[in-house]
Amino acid sequence: MLEEHAHADIDSAAAIGLAGFAVNIGDPAQDFVLRTLDFMFDYARDNHPSFRIFISMDVWATKVGGNTLTVYNDILARYKGHEAYYQGPDGKSFVSTFSDGGFHNDQWSDYWANNFANEVYFVPNFDNATGYWEADPGWWAYWGDVVQGCFSWDSVWPKRGTTGGGNIYRDQIVIEGTAAHNKTYMIG
């Protein structure tokens, strides 16, 4: 992404009243990633002080490459304290994902504890985990201590072979489940 493109995207989003961007990153080692994030974070800070950005780790893509969660360490450490980084309701840096990447609850818990002293507000998209779409008590027993909420891309990203997005019928149950557990629900 060119710097001018990043600036234009933020200008356009701010002009229509959007509060920020979730930036989905599949391979943080690609040389364009840091450059693009610098463009975005610094421009938002300097030109749209109320516009916020947060990292959404695409661990589905990362896991395909055989990497571990630690490939995100540098990028999160670099940006989580930036003035334009979105902070969760508890003042901790907001982080989401695109999938659980096949990692287990203890691996996620260890990752946040060992690398970021649990100083993140974690709202992942773990919709491929059994029980997610049903807000199953077993899902919450397994994931509840790891997550501060749930994030779904489904409503805005239609399944392959279908058209359109924007239907939240699947989300309603998850929304009710997060509310019942005093957790955050975020929809794309």
Identify the domain containing residue 159 by its residue range: 3-187
Q: Beginning with the edge strand found earlier in the chain, give each strand of the sheet holding 93-97 in spatial order.
A: 20-25, 52-57, 93-97, 120-122
Transcribe the chain into DSSP letters. --HHHHHHHHHHHHHTT--EEEEEES-TTSHHHHHHHHHHHHHHHHH-TT-EEEEEE-HHHHHHTT--GGGGHHHHHHHTTSTTB-B-TTSSEEEEESS-TT--HHHHHHHHHHHHTT-EEE----TTSTTTTTT-HHHHHHHTTT-SEEEE-TTTSPPTT-------HHHHHHHHHHHHTT-EEEE-
In a structure prediction context, what are the per-residue pLDDT tens digits for the chain, which is 188 residues long?
Answer: 788 999 999 999 999 999 999 999 988 888 899 999 999 999 999 999 999 999 999 888 776 556 678 889 999 999 999 999 999 999 999 999 988 888 899 999 999 998 898 899 999 999 889 999 999 999 999 999 999 999 987 766 666 555 556 677 788 999 999 999 999 999 87
The overall pTM is greater than 0.85: yes
Give how many domains the chain has, as a whole number: 1
Query: What CATH number corresponds to the domain at position 69?
Result: 3.20.20.80
Distance separating alpha carbons of residues 133 and 175, to the nearest angstrom? 10
Q: Write out pLDDT tens, residues 143-159.
A: 999 999 999 877 666 66
